[in-house]
Each structure stands twice: as C-alpha cells, then as structure tokens.
Chain A
Amino acid sequence: NAGVTQTPKFQVLKTGQSMTLQCAQDMNHEYMSWYRQDPGMGLRLIHYSVGAGITDQGEVPNGYNVSRSTTEDFPLRLLSAAPSQTSVYFCASTNDRGGNQPQHFGDGTRLSIL
C-alpha cells in the first residue's frame, strides 16, 4: 500500500519557469490538500479538494493552480516560478471530514527557485 506518493522529490527551477508537482493516493480518500513548509512557519495550506472536480483556496494560494479530475490525483501547478516559492511541499489526504482521522502525508517535494 503506497499511501500518498509525491513526485519529484527534488526540483530546481529558474525564475519564470512553470512546473507541476504530482500527488497520487491509493486509499480512495475524498479529501486532498497541498501545504508548503517554510523555516520557522510550520505548514501552511495552499489549496485543497473535497472531491473530484471540487477545489478551493487555502491560506497561501497565490501563484499556484490545482485541479482534481480523479479521486486519486491532485497535481499542484506553479504557473511562473518565483524565488518566494522555494519551499518544501507536502500533499496530504484523508477520508474523514468529521476530523477524527489524521491526514496522511506524502514524503514531500523540495523545490528551489533560482
């Protein structure tokens, strides 16, 4: 059981480039989220999805797009990379909107923007 799989694990981009961070889960979870982790700031929510075809913004959505065409996949797109987007990105999923079950996290993508 793979859980939540994120690819790539590491990526270096130049300012202005675009790229997509991939996230896939095999647990048939309805709810998926993207967080970014910056030093001293904990994890902050970028975008989330409550099911296929439904997405919404989190705390820090600017510069990122998401889509959810299937239950399994929730890619995060950087439209025009900026140095401020250098961070570690985590994808998470859960199947319990009642809040009793934890979110399952992927291993993260470490992204550097030059």
Chain B
Amino acid sequence: AQKITQTQPGMFVQEKEAVTLDCTYDTSDPSYGLFWYKQPSSGEMIFLIYQGSYDQQNATEGRYSLNFQKARKSANLVISASQLGDSAMYFCAMISPNFGNEKLTFGTGTRLTIIP
C-alpha cells in the first residue's frame, strides 16, 4: 500500500513571503514519483511539479521547488515570493510501479490563503 499525508489543513501567509507545504509519504517501492497539484477555487487541477525517487536534485519549476528528503520520506512544496494568485488547495500525490503508475494516490490537501 502507499499513503500520502498532508498535516496542514489550512495555512495563512503574508504576500511575498515564502511558503512551505508539508507532504510525507509511505511506500515499499524503491521507485516512485511524487507530484504536486494546485486546485484554485474554480476547481480545475493544475500540475505544478514532479520529483522522481531516483532524481539526484530537487525539482524546481519557476517559483515552485520541491524539498525532497528521501530518508525522511518527505516531499515538501516550497513557493517563493507568494502571490495572491497562489491562494488555492494544494495536493501532494504519488505513483509507484507496484501500485500502477497510471494511478495517483492523493493526500487530503492544504488550503493556502495569501494575505495582502
């Protein structure tokens, strides 16, 4: 089995500050992938960033970076210089070969609110 845990149901952050959203995972597979998705109030799921378990470096995509600590089984999302448009739900998700790479397991999400 595999599991994703997001322990922050909600966060309030001042605009322009950096944000860290926590994600821990559990899997017995040595090979796996971790994703972060953003869900704004309009409801669509927007892919943000991906980290493979064998990737040597932490993934980065613009203002998003993934703080991947394999030994601790954590894959925290870091948003630099937060903007009002970053207010949304954020989901961490994973895949693994034994579970089926076409099947995502999601965490329960973190609702991020950026304060002007």
Q: Which residues of A contact B (CB under 8 A)?
A: 31, 33, 35, 40-45, 48, 50, 58, 88, 90, 92, 94, 96-105, 107-108, 110
CA of A25 to CA of B100, assembled, Å: 21
By a CB distance below 8 angstroms, the chain B residues around A97 are: 101-102
A-B contact count (CB 8 A): 65
By a CB distance below 8 angstroms, the chain B residues around A102 are: 35, 37, 47, 50
**Distance in Å from the Cβ of B70 to the closest Cβ of chain A?**
16
Q: Which of A35, A42, A90 makes the CB contact (< 8 A) with B107?
A: A42
A33 touches B91 (CB 8 A): no
By a CB distance below 8 angstroms, the chain B residues around A50 are: 102
Instruction: Give residues 81-100 of B contacting A (CB, 8 Å).
Output: 91, 93, 95-97, 100
Main secondary structure of the interface of A (DSSP, over half): strand
A99 touches B45 (CB 8 A): no
Chain A residue at smallest Cβ distance from B52 = A100
B101 touches A99 (CB 8 A): yes
Q: How many chain-B residues does the 8 Å CB contact rule pick out?
A: 27
**Distance in Å from the Cβ of A63 to the closest Cβ of chain B?**
19
Main secondary structure of the interface of B (DSSP, over half): loop
Q: Which of A42, A48, A98 makes the CB contact (< 8 A) with B109?
A: A42
**Distance in Å from the Cβ of A33 to the closest Cβ of chain B?**
6
A94 touches B102 (CB 8 A): yes
A48 touches B102 (CB 8 A): yes
CA of A94 to CA of B97, assembled, Å: 15
Q: Which 4 pairs of residues, A with B, have the shortest CB-CB distance?
A: A105-B45, A31-B102, A42-B106, A102-B47
**Distance in Å from the Cβ of B93 to the closest Cβ of chain A?**
8
Q: Which of A41, A96, A98, A103 makes the CB contact (< 8 A) with B104?
A: A103
By a CB distance below 8 angstroms, the chain B residues around A31 are: 102
Chain A residue at smallest Cβ distance from B32 = A99
B103 touches A48 (CB 8 A): yes
CA of A31 to CA of B103, assembled, Å: 9
CA of A96 to CA of B101, assembled, Å: 8
